[in-house]
């Protein structure tokens, strides 16, 4: 696939989050596009809950998908975006009285010839993975599901990690994608707190990209989660508080 085809594939994937049939990335609209859909009243697969409002924000357009819970305030949000020089991030804070959590989503569009210190994990690495998971999630009580999840990632070759002194310090996982799972794969990443900002997450993700693209199963549209706001990137803003839960794409 060439770059345009890759972007089209990822654009369609993001558009499905808003329950839109077409590729919202190809639109150019100076005003926000509002889309009411009953899908916002139902749990989003892979995310474990309902989101009252979803929005795609690109350089060309802002498209907002909302359900019943957000309907009462959607006109207020729309008016604020039209009449004020305010970002959608700040507009949502003002209208819904809540602070969104921001992360950026990327797509991979390149050859998988990537040098990395990470390696693909095997079934024999489960003990290290379980220790890593417990360290990163100290409040997790029921992990009876973890072994099966790990083995699924091993079979799909999506679990890659960096070891330091035989300890797993950074590792990818394989979040469930709600749409187009035959073509799209998301890469989740976690790093132990004391090993962050040292390039280990980059190495682990690079290894996962290499392994996934080698399979040829998911083509080359790749999505990766990361926390950091940037106005020139395709964004995902997520928030959860009280009765209003919003995820901004």
Instruction: Name the one residue in this structure whose structure tokens are 């959590």.
Output: 101
Query: What tens digit of pLDDT does each residue of 1-28 get?
Result: 566 777 777 778 888 888 887 777 677 7
Q: How far is CA 5 from the centre of its chain?
A: 20
Instruction: Give the per-residue pLDDT at 201.
Output: 92
Per-residue pLDDT band at 75 (split at 50, 70, 90): very high
Instruction: Give the per-residue pLDDT at 210.
Output: 85
Query: What tens digit of pLDDT does each residue of 62-72 get?
Result: 889 999 999 99
pLDDT at position 76 over 60: yes
CA distance 38 to 26: 24
Per-residue pLDDT band at 135 (split at 50, 70, 90): very high
Identify the sign of the CA torsion 180, 183, 184, 185.
positive
Average pLDDT estimate for 212-223 = 59
Query: What tens digit of pLDDT does each residue of 162-212 get?
Result: 999 999 999 999 888 888 888 788 888 999 999 999 999 989 988 988 888
Q: How many CB atoms lie within 10 A of CB 14?
A: 24
pLDDT at position 102 over 70: no
Domain 119-219, what architecture? 3-Layer(aba) Sandwich (3.40)
Do the bridges between strand 185-191 and strand 222-226 make them parallel or antiparallel, or are there none, so unpaired? parallel
Instruction: Give the per-residue pLDDT at 3.
Output: 64
Q: Where are the domains of the chain?
A: 3-106+227-248, 119-219
Find out whether 125 and 166 touch, Cβ atoms under 8 Å: no
> Comparing 82-91, 132-141, 156-165, 218-227, which segment has the lowest mean pLDDT?
218-227
């Amino acid at each position: 696939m060439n770059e345009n085809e890759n972007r089209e594939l990822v654009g369609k994937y993001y558009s499905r989050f808003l329950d839109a049939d077409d590729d919202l990335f190809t639109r150019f609209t100076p005003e926000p596009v509002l889309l009411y859909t009953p899908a916002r009243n139902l749990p989003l697969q892979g995310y474990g809950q309902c989101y009252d409002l979803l929005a795609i924000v690109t350089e060309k357009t802002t498209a907002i998908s909302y359900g019943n819970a957000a309907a009462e305030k959607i006109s207020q949000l729309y008016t604020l975006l039209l009449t004020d020089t305010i970002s959608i991030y700040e507009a949502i804070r003002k209208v819904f009285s809540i602070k969104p959590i921001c992360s950026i989503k990327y797509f991979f569009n390149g050859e998988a010839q990537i040098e990395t210190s990470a390696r693909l994990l095997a079934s024999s690495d489960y003990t290290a993975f379980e220790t890593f998971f417990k360290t990163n999630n100290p409040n997790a009580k029921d992990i009876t599901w973890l072994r099966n999840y790990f083995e699924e990632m091993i079979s799909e070759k999506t679990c890659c990690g960096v070891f330091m002194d035989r300890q797993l310090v950074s590792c990818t996982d394989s979040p469930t994608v709600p749409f187009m799972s035959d073509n799209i794969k998301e890469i989740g990443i976690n790093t132990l707190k004391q090993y962050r900002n040292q390039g280990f997450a980059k190495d682990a993700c690079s290894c996962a990209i290499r392994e996934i693209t080698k399979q040829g199963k998911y083509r080359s549209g790749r999505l990766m989660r990361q926390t950091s706001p940037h106005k020139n990137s395709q964004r995902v803003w997520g928030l959860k508080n009280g009765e209003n839960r919003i995820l901004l794409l």
